[in-house]
C-alpha cells in the first residue's frame, strides 16, 4: 500500500499547473536536450492520472520544481555519496527541490540492461522522485514505482495501480 508524508502535504488546489526548471545540468553527462525529454516523459506519466499539468520553464523564479545534478555536499545537509548508494532525493510538497547525484552513471534510454553494471536508469529514478515531489512516500507493493528498492540495470517507469490510487486519493 502507498503512503504519504507526515501530515499529508500536497500542492494546493490552486496549483494545477506545476512548472519545473532544470537549474543545474553542467555536472550531468547527459546532454540537456535528452534530459528535457526524459523529465518530460517522467512527468507525463503522473499527469496522465491526476488533474495536474507539468510544464518546463527556463525561468527559475517561476519554477515550482527545480531539478539539478550535484556532487557531494550541495547545501541542503544531505550530501551525495559517490557512485551508487543514494542516487537522488526529492523533498515533500511544496518544497519542490529534486536533486540527482552527478557521480552516478546515468543512462537515458532502455539500453540500461546491456550497458555497465553500475548504470542507473534516469527515467526510473525521475518517476520515483516525482512521486515524492507530489507527496507520496514509499509503498509496500513490490511493483509500485514508490517501492523503496530499485535493482540497478532495470527500468521501471510504468505506474502501478497502487501508485495511481495513492496519487489520485491525494489530488
Ligand atoms: N533516494 C531515496 C529515495 O528517493 C531518498 C529517500 C529515502 C527519501 N527516504 C525517503 C526521499 C523518503 C523521500 C522520502 O527513496 S535513493 C529509489 C528506490 C532512491 C531510491 O537514491 O535511495 C529510487 C532513488 F525506490 F528504488 F529505492 C530512486 Cl527509484
Ligand atoms: Ca550516490
Ligand atoms: Zn539535495
Ligand atoms: Zn523514495
pLDDT at 112: 46
Q: Is residue 2 part of a domain?
A: no
Q: Is residue 81 part of a domain?
A: yes
Whether ipTM tops 0.90, in short, is yes
Q: Is residue 4 part of a domain?
A: no
> Which atom, in ligand 1's list, is nearest to the CA of 156?
29
pLDDT at 109: 72
- Pick the catalytic residue from 56, 129, 142, 158: 129
The CATH number assigned to the domain holding 68 equals: 3.40.390.10
Answer yes or no: is the C-beta of 151 below 6 A from any ligand 1 atom.
no
d(CA 61, CA 107): 29
Answer yes or no: is the C-beta of 89 below 6 A from any ligand 1 atom.
yes
> Which atom, in ligand 1's list, is nearest to the CA of 88?
21
Of residues 138, 129, 139, 140, the one with CA closest to residue 46: 129
pLDDT digits (tens, 9 = 90+) for 48-105: 999 999 999 999 899 999 999 999 999 999 999 999 899 999 999 999 999 999 999 9
pLDDT digits (tens, 9 = 90+) for 2-21: 999 999 999 998 889 999 99
pLDDT at 151: 67
Whether 12 and 94 have beta carbons less than 8 Å apart is answered as yes
Q: Is residue 25 part of a domain?
A: yes
d(CA 142, CA 160): 9
Q: Is residue 3 part of a domain?
A: no
Q: Is residue 8 part of a domain?
A: no
Q: Is residue 150 part of a domain?
A: yes
Q: What is the pTM of this model?
A: 0.95
Host domain of residue 146: 17-168
Answer yes or no: is the C-beta of 136 below 6 A from any ligand 1 atom.
no
d(CA 171, CA 163): 12
Q: Is residue 5 part of a domain?
A: no
Q: Annotated catalytic, 129?
A: yes
pLDDT digits (tens, 9 = 90+) for 32-57: 999 999 999 999 999 999 999 999 99
pLDDT at 100: 98
Number of domains in the chain: 1
Helices (runs of H) and strands (runs of E) counted in the chain: 3, 7
Proximal ligand: closest to the CA of 84? 2
Amino acid at each position: 500500500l502507498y503512503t504519504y508524508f507526515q501530515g499529508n502535504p500536497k500542492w494546493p488546489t490552486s496549483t494545477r499547473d506545476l512548472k519545473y526548471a532544470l537549474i543545474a545540468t553542467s555536472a550531468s553527462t547527459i546532454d540537456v536536450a535528452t534530459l528535457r525529454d526524459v523529465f518530460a516523459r517522467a512527468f507525463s506519466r503522473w499527469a496522465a492520472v491526476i488533474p495536474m499539468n507539468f510544464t518546463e520553464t527556463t525561468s527559475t523564479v517561476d519554477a515550482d520544481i527545480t531539478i539539478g545534478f550535484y556532487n557531494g555536499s550541495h547545501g541542503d545537509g544531505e550530501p551525495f555519496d559517490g557512485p551508487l548508494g543514494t542516487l537522488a532525493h526529492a523533498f515533500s510538497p511544496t518544497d519542490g527541490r529534486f536533486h540527482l547525484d552527478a557521480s552516478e552513471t546515468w543512462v537515458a534510454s532502455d539500453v540500461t540492461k546491456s550497458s555497465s553494471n553500475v548504470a542507473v536508469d534516469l527515467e526510473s529514478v525521475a518517476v520515483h522522485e516525482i512521486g515524492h515531489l507530489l507527496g507520496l512516500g514509499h509503498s509496500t507493493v513490490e511493483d509500485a514505482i514508490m517501492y523503496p528498492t530499485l535493482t540497478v540495470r532495470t527500468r521501471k517507469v510504468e505506474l502501478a495501480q497502487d501508485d495511481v490510487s495513492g496519487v489520485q486519493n491525494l489530488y
